[in-house]
Amino acid sequence: MPSYLLAKLAESERYTQAAEAARQTLIAPAPAEHRAQLRLSIDENGSLVATVEAAPNRTISDAHGTETLPGTVVRTEDEPTVADVAVNQAFDGLGATFQMLLDAFQRNSIDGKGLSLDATVHYGSGYDNAFWNGERMVFGDGDGQVFQGFTGSTTVIGHELGHGVIQHTAGLEYEGQPGALNESLADVFGALTEQHLLGQTADQATWLIGAGIFTPAVHGKALRSMLHPGTAYDDPELGKDPQPADMSGYVQTTDDNGGVHLNSGIPNRAFALFAVELGGYAWETAGSVWYRALTGGLTASATFAQFAKATIAEADAVSPSTGDAARTAWASVGVIKATGDERAVG
């Protein structure tokens, strides 16, 4: 959750309950076991074939409105659904992210080695956020006026677990351009998780992050739009989505760790444009290009231009037309020159 959005909400006179929840959220501390499944099938000769495939190992706990982690275990792997909707949503969202990572990138969980996926729901009182704390997913229930339960968005779950993937790969610094890349890549994982779950092609997808977590009282669709940064919400109390769509709007600030949630809109749009141009399922070619750039030796201090160069190299390795599509996408957001010479302009 962007700190600038919570800060704006904290000043609200219209949403008094939400304002108090936002203030409490802002001051609250933000805080490996492996599993496999046996799959049986019949081969072309009629013989029984047994294969062992990676499978998620999920544990959902309940903080019961406190800020004490991990909370009480309420659902584990292979157990049926429970009466608590948030528990089931968290369980399903963790599974959807695990399956996308496995199917798209042959990655076994967020560490690539089958790490258990743990989550805590009902964290805090009116807590307006969800976060990855380095070990588990943590979900607040929202304040009820502006934000609803954060387990209701698959993109939010995929985003936060995406931070875990980044932590176990490039370990991008959470400041300035590396931090904005960190946020953007997490958004890519979130969007791909939802699209993979729904079987959507790039042109069918909404490219929204956090759709459904605003209450109907808010004038907005989601927290962010990857394809159209700056258009996700426009509300009298929350203001207008401040994300820039290209480098001409790049925000120089000391807030928000150097604008990590703001400037992430720039690489977000580059990925969405790239995926839409290629067509088909975004987790296939487009997602694989971005994933290989992330895991192929990217430094923790990588800038937009350095990441663009890495993705273009990976795209060129697929085909000349894929490389051209990557160049066009990065040029469209002003990170490289329109001539495609890969030089940064900002």
**pLDDT grade, residue 201 (50/70/90)?**
very high
| CA 294 remoteness from chain centre | 14
pLDDT, average across residues 192-207: 98
The encoded tokens of residue 154 equal 């698959």
Q: With 70 as the cut, is the pLDDT of residue 49 above it? A: no
pLDDT the model gives residue 53: 59
The encoded tokens of residue 128 equal 């307006």
pLDDT the model gives residue 54: 80
Give CA–CA dist 136/150, Å, rounded: 15
**pLDDT grade, residue 41 (50/70/90)?**
low
Give CA–CA dist 294/308, Å, rounded: 11
pLDDT the model gives residue 327: 97
Instruction: Please identify which residue in the block is written with the tokens 């790049």.
Output: 250
pLDDT, average across residues 242-263: 96
Give CA–CA dist 185/264, Å, rounded: 9
| H helix or E strand, kind and range, residue 91 | helix 85-105
Cβ atoms within 10 Å of 161's Cβ, excluding its own? 27
Residues 6+ apart with CB under 8 A from 252: 259
The C-alpha angle with vertex 175 and arms to 169 and 180, in degrees rounded to 5, equals: 70
What are 58-67's pLDDT values in tens digits? 999 999 999 9
Q: With 60 as the cut, is the pLDDT of residue 186 above it? A: yes
Q: Domains in the chain, start-ordered, CATH in brackets?
A: 3-332 (1.10.390.10)
**What is the gyration radius of the CA atoms in the chain, in angstroms?**
20
Top-confidence residue, 283 or 27? 283
Give CA–CA dist 245/332, Å, rounded: 9
What are 118-133's pLDDT values in tens digits? 999 999 999 999 998 9
Give CA–CA dist 148/207, Å, rounded: 20
**pLDDT grade, residue 5 (50/70/90)?**
confident
**Helix intervals (H) in the chain:** 3-10, 16-27, 85-105, 154-167, 176-198, 256-263, 265-278, 285-295, 304-318, 320-332
Q: With 70 as the cut, is the pLDDT of residue 68 above it? A: yes
The encoded tokens of residue 280 equal 């088909």
pLDDT the model gives residue 28: 64
- Report the percent of the chain where pLDDT is more than 70: 89
Which amino acid, 65? G
Q: Which of 11-20, 72-81, 121-130, 195-204 has the lowest mean pLDDT?
A: 11-20
Residue 191: phi, psi to the nearest 5?
-65, -45
Residues catalogued as catalytic: 160, 261
What are 124-179's pLDDT values in tens digits? 999 999 998 988 999 999 999 999 989 999 999 999 999 999 999 999 999 999 99
Q: Which of 28-32, 241-245, 254-258 has the lowest mean pLDDT?
A: 28-32
For CA atoms 171, 176, 181, 187, give the dihedral sign: positive
Instruction: Please identify which residue in the block is written with the tokens 């927290």.
Output: 223
* Buried-exposed string 198-223: b where 16+ CB fall within 10 A, e elsewhere: eebebeebbbbbbbbbbbeebebbbb
**pLDDT grade, residue 338 (50/70/90)?**
confident
Q: Decide if 180 contacts 263 (C-beta within 8 A).
A: yes
* Average pLDDT of the chain, as a whole number: 89
The encoded tokens of residue 312 equal 């273009």
Report the chain's terminal Cα–Cα distance, integer Å: 26
Tell me the β-bridge partners of 143. Answer: none
